[in-house]
Amino acid sequence: MALVDAGFVSEPVYVLFHLTDGPYITGHPATEEGLRAHLPFLPRDRNVEWTVNTLGGNLLQLAPMIAQEGGHMALGIGDYPYKELGSPPNEQLVRQAVKIVHAAGREMATPEDVREMLALA
């Protein structure tokens, strides 16, 4: 990560992978292949936390891969209404994400966990 090496960005580094689906063509598609297009560029020797969001698509479909690969997710009806799931409230989406994260052997990050991960005061 050249910006880290040059001293422009200090660790921990936070990266957001913005995927798109449906009528949007502003990023890689919200598919496993779309996410895999980004992951090889993450340096293994650096403290990098990464999150995935998607505009116009169902992030829950990628949630197992995100959880297994060590990433985080930003999901909610503000980005996509999840009509194929009956347009559930955010609470239901988060509950589903929690199940997926637990199935991958991980725990949900608390606000304190996030502060620690990102070295925030």
CA 22 to the chain's CA centroid: 18
Please report, for residues 3, 22, 43, 76, 98, the alpha-carbon distance to residue 38 in angstroms, rounded to integers and kept in the order given.
16, 20, 11, 22, 24
Each residue's pLDDT, cut to its tens digit, for the chain (121 residues) gives 565 666 677 899 999 999 998 887 888 999 999 999 999 999 889 999 999 999 888 999 999 999 999 999 998 767 788 999 999 999 999 999 999 999 999 999 999 999 999 999 7
Q: What is this structure's pTM?
A: 0.88
